Structure 1
Amino acid sequence: MIVAGFGFRRAATVESLADALAATDGTPDALATAADKAQALAPLAKRLGLPVHAVPPDALTAARTQTDSAASRTHRNTGSVAEAAALAAAGPGARLLSPRVVSADRMATCALAASSGETS
C-alpha cells in the first residue's frame, strides 16, 4: 500500500493539497494526516476515491522523518507531519518513497510511503 501523508496549514485549500500530491508524482492507495486534521482531507479523498487515515500524535512523534521543518517540530514534535503521517499509516517497516514536497502556495506538504513489501 502506498500512502500519501499530508501536513498543512489551517488555511490550506483542496487545491493546495492536490498540488502537493501532484508534486510527488505518485499514485497513493490512501491519504493520511494528523488525527485532528483528518476531516480536512475529506474533500480531496472524495475527489480521489481514497480512504483517509487519522494518525494519532504518538505515532507522528515515533516516526523517523527524512526532513526537518521547524514548524513541524514546534507544533507536532516531528520533523515532517507529511512524512510521519505517511510512514505511520503505511504500517510497521514502511519506507519513504518521496520526502515531503511543498505546494506552490506553501500551504501544504505531501510525502509518500510504502508499506513493507510494496515495490513502488
Structure 2
Amino acid sequence: MIVAGFGFRAQANVHSLCSAYQLAREGMPPITHVATLAEKAHLLAELSNLLGLPLIAVPQERLAQARTLTASAASRAARGVDSVAEASALAALGADTAVLLARRHISRDRMATCAIASGVHS
C-alpha cells in the first residue's frame, strides 16, 4: 500500500488538500489510500471521493507511535506530534513497518500538508 497522509487546518478546503497532494505525489508510485486524524477524516472525504481512493481514519493515540522526519511547532502544540501528515501516513500502515517515501509537502496556501508512506496495512 502507498498512503498519502494529510494534516490540515480547519479552514483548509479541497483545493488546499489537492495542492499538498499534487506536490507530495510527484515522482511517487501510485497512491492507494489517503489517511488523516480520525476526528478530521470527514473533512478529507471530498478529496478521497474525487481521487477514488479509500480513506483511513487514524486514531490520535496511533499518531504518537510514528517517528516523523520533519517537525512543526504548530503541529506539536495542536496534536502532540511533529507532523500530522507524516504520522498519519505512517500510522495508517503500522508505524513499526511503514517507510516514509516523501516528507510533508505544504499546500500553496499553507493550510494543508501531505506526506507519502509505503508498507503493509496492519
TM (normalized to structure 2)? Answer: 0.92
Give CA-to-partner distance per residue, 1:25-76, whole Å, 9 cap, x none. 1331000000100000110010011111110111111110000000110011
The answer to whether the 8 Å contact 1:99/1:111 transfers is yes
Report the Cα distance in structure 2 between the residues aligned to 1:35 and 1:86, rounded to whole angstroms.
12
Unaligned residue ranges in structure 1 (runs of 5+): none
Give the structure 1 partner of residue 70 of structure 2. Answer: 67
Unaligned residue ranges in structure 2 (runs of 5+): none
The answer to whether the 8 Å contact 1:61/1:76 transfers is no
Percent of pairs with identical residues: 54
TM (normalized to structure 1)? Answer: 0.93
CA shift, 1:14, in A, is 0.3
Tell me the SS of whatever aligns to 1:89. Answer: helix
Report the Cα distance in structure 1 between the residues aligned to 2:105 and 2:93, rounded to whole angstroms.
18
CA shift, 1:98, in A, is 0.1
Match for 2:6: what amino acid?
F
| Superposition map of 1:102-113 within 5 A | 102-113=106-117
Give the structure 1 partner of residue 87 of structure 2. Answer: 84
Q: CA RMSD in A?
A: 0.9
Tell me whether 1:13 sits opposite 2:13 in the alignment.
yes
Give the structure 1 partner of residue 101 of structure 2. Answer: 97
Size of the aligned set, in residue pairs, is: 116
Give the structure 1 partner of residue 56 of structure 2. Answer: 53
Give CA-to-partner distance per residue, 1:58-95, whole Å, 9 cap, x none. 11111100000001100111000000000011224000
